[in-house]
Structure 1
Amino acid sequence: MGLQRHGTCENGGYMGGLTADPAFLATTFVVIDFEATTPTGYPAQPIEVAALALRYEEGAWTTVGRGTSLIRPPAFAPVTPAVTAQTGLTPEQVKQAPSPAEALGALDRRFTASNRYLLVAQHAATEAKLIHNQREHCPALARVDLLDTIPFAKHLVPGLPNYKLDTLLAHFSIKQPADRHRAAADVDVTAQVFFRLVSAADEDAQLSDLAALVKIAGRTAKCNMPAQDGLFDI
């Protein structure tokens, strides 16, 4: 995201086909997670976002950017007791938070035109839809395609009872964070899952390069899809 390097993440080591691919090495992977409210009759509204930007350099993951922000939801989408029970976030905490335009605009400005990005998310359809619905506030972010850790994991670790984040954490012996279901904590453990999957992919002949990974786990941002206007015109 154009920031100074903050450190090298654990999980260096074997340089296989995927992590030796020039396209993979040229990509900044941004692990992203939202917490949201789901008001009746409206699409989900974000109340928190976290992003962790990563590059694979010299056999190890390096953090090149990190950010998190609470987001003030509109009046029609209050933080409900159910949301508080899941996330720990309260109406009082988000009342004075930045607006979606402020919070997502600040995140959007960290995506520079000179870099190649892919978003990484657990169940990426959820994040993709939320980003698309907020695209007026984050036009650059809304044009970044995604990688979904669920089909990535299904390809590499077949036979799990399900592919929920908690199941993947248990499979890879990744410790559950104390503040699970907060955006920053979920981004950190999703990144750990992604590291394990990339390491396994290095030994998978079907995942020899980034294009193969995208074919298995990629999701095109809706803003990048061909327009369908007039398809059903009579």
Structure 2
Amino acid sequence: MYAILDIETTGGKYNEEGITEIAIYKYDGHQVVDQFISLINPEREIQPFVVNLTGINSNMLRNAPKFYEVAKRIVEITDDCIIVAHNAQFDYRILGTEFKRLGYDYKRQSLCTVELSKNLIPNQPSYSLGKLVRSLGIPVADRHRAAGDAQATVKLFKMLLEKDSSKNIIQQSIRLNPKHQLEPRHLDIINELPATTGVYYIHKANGDIIYIGKSNNIKKRINQHFTSTSQKSKKIQAQVAAVTYEATGSELVALLKESEEIKRTKPVYNRALRRTSFTHALYSFTDEKGYINLKLDIADGRKKAITTFSNKQSGKSFITNAIEEYKLCQKLTGLYPTKTSCFNFDIKACAGACIEKEPIELYNKRVDTLITKNSYANKNMVIIDKGREVDERSAVLIKNGVYQGYGFFNLNYQINNLDILESIITHMKNNRDTQHIIQNYLRKNKRLKIIAFN
């Protein structure tokens, strides 16, 4: 659990500042579960430059509570939490100083979103909160007021958790949170999970990930893990101490995340899923007559495939549908081996490429259309899909035919700027599995929005 906060102060000499406003959002890694926002009477003068910056003046604070009046609430809302702030050293020092004046030793673990951003989103022109969130397309309101800055920090931290592909932040949280170190009942774990699309991580008590999975209903899938009698499930049931998850909204993003993170993390119970996820591929070649032929074959990494399939049967099904959709020849697609005309020609469903009756240019044009549609080689495009929330969408970026990664954006924020899009993208590795996942998903979801760019 995290307590994401922002503090506005009076300014002045080091360790003599007073708090004028505080905002705390208790965040479980997915949503805000509690909040506390209040002006505070600092019982001292506010520096003029601070008044100009924040708009908070002494008249506004005359009837505000003093710090000792809200101290108990601050202790309660941050209990068992990691403090998260932009320039956390400053906010944590100010908070500690105020508690010290009351004779209370306030101690919490802390994370700084400045340091995390420098590590996870490098090469930004500025890491000040205002400039950073603007460059990342994160909406911010009431800048230099505690609630506005804290809300922006929540959104920034959410993006940083997404970009932390090694899961260091999550694993540290589990190690530090004593509640997670006790092995809870499986039912308690399930009750805290959502029935949503995303990737889930099963942890041991020390935070180590022992299994990664993807599901369109995380709660239901974990329930299956905990009720299964297979040997693997029994081992997971014996070791599980916590289950964390990342909602994706998009099944495509969940599939890509699962594939990438299993390969990187190599959880002990994911051995089978580390292998390549497809067996067959569709290739093309030009015969001696000049016609483009298609051939379904066992996948070979040395050859350039048009698209790939999980098994031979799905490849055959694709070719059968392509013959009908693009009016292709059964013989030249390898579906009807013959030395003469194909069956479709005999029933007048083929224009006769099999016996050189149809002009080469006309036939090859239709085959090229199929190849272009089902291969994203050399293409620059963004695949838009569902987001984690109603007002959000996911974006999968492909540049020059190479998968770059994924990100999320607010519907009110247009992603027509490629530089901003690349800033919000969580970069991932491009490999044969990611190509297969994307091509397979595009085949099954033909109504997806795709934006092409130069």
TM-score, reference length from structure 1: 0.67
Separation in structure 2 between the aligned mates of residue 153 and residue 138 of structure 1, nearest angstrom: 34
Q: Which residue of 1 aligns with 2:220?
A: none
Whether the 8 Å CA contact 1:31–1:187 is kept in 2: the answer is yes
| Secondary structure of the structure 1 residue equivalent to 2:99 | coil
- Deviates further, 77-86 or 183-192: 77-86
Q: Deviations over 1:126-154 (max 9, x none)?
A: 011101111244947x2111110011111
Q: 2:157 aligns with which of 191, 194, 198?
A: 194
SS of equivalent residue, structure 1 residue 188 = helix
Is residue 67 of structure 2 the alignment partner of residue 104 of structure 1?
no
**Aligned residue runs from structure 1 range 163-202, under 5 A:** 163-177=127-141, 179-201=142-164
Name the residue aligned to 1:82.
49
Match for 1:210 among 166, 171, 178? Answer: 171
* Structure 1 residue runs without a partner (length 5+): 1-27, 215-234
Provide the rounded CA distance (Å) in 2 between the counterparts of 1:42 and 1:124: 15
| Structure showing greater relative contact order (alpha-carbon pairs closer than 8 Å, 6 or more residues apart) | 1
Q: 1:110 to 1:83 in 2, by over 3 A?
A: same
Are 2:82 and 2:111, in contact at CA under 8 Å, matched by a contact in 1?
yes
Aligned to 2:2: 29
| 2: CA distance, partners of 1:193 / 1:117 | 18
Paired position in structure 1 for 2:117: 153
Q: Deviations over 1:173-210 (max 9, x none)?
A: 01231x11110111100100000111111x3x373753
Shift in alpha-carbon separation, 1:208–1:117, aligned structure 2, 3 A: closer
Query: Which secondary structure does the structure 2 equivalent of 1:143 belong to?
Result: coil
**Structure 2 partner of 1:39:** 12
**Partner SS state of residue 31, structure 2:** strand
Q: Secondary structure at the match of 2:84?
A: strand
Distance across 1 between alignment mates of 2:159 and 2:14: 39
| Change over 3 Å in CA distance of 1:42–1:52 after alignment to 2 | closer
Corresponding residue for residue 52 of structure 1: 25
Checking the alignment, whether the CA contact within 8 Å between 1:105 and 1:138 is kept in structure 2 is: no
Aligned twin of 1:65:
34
One-letter identity of the residue aligned with 2:162: S
1:87 deviates by: 0.6
For residues 63 and 212 of structure 1, the distance between their equivalents in structure 2, rounded to whole angstroms, comes to: 16
C-alpha contact 2:20 2:41 (8 A) present in aligned 1: yes
Q: Distance in 2 between matches of 1:164 and 1:206?
A: 24
1:33 aligned partner, one-letter code: D
Structure 1 pair 62–135 and aligned structure 2 pair: CA distance change class (3 A): same
> SS of the residue aligned with 2:4?
strand
- Per-residue CA deviations over 1:71-129 (Å, capped at 9, x if unaligned) read 1112xx312332221111111011111111112233223345xxx31010000010111
Q: Is the 8 A contact 1:150 1:163 kept in 2?
A: yes
> Aligned to 1:186, what secondary structure does the other structure show?
helix
Q: Which runs of 4+ in 1 moved over 3 A?
A: 109-112, 136-140, 205-209
- Separation (CA, whole Å) in 1 of partners of 2:145 and 2:169: 34
**Contact 1:49-1:183 at 8 Å conserved across structures:** yes
Offset of residue 62 of structure 1: 2.1
Q: Tell me, in whole angstroms, the C-alpha distance in 2 between the residues paired with 1:110 and 1:182.
A: 20
TM score, norm. by length of structure 2: 0.36
The CA deviation at 1:41 is 6.8
With over 3 angstroms needed to count, the CA separation of the structure-2 counterparts of 1:208 and 1:87, relative to structure 1, is: closer
Tell me which residue corresponds to 1:223.
none
Instruction: State the 1:38 CA deviation.
Output: 1.9
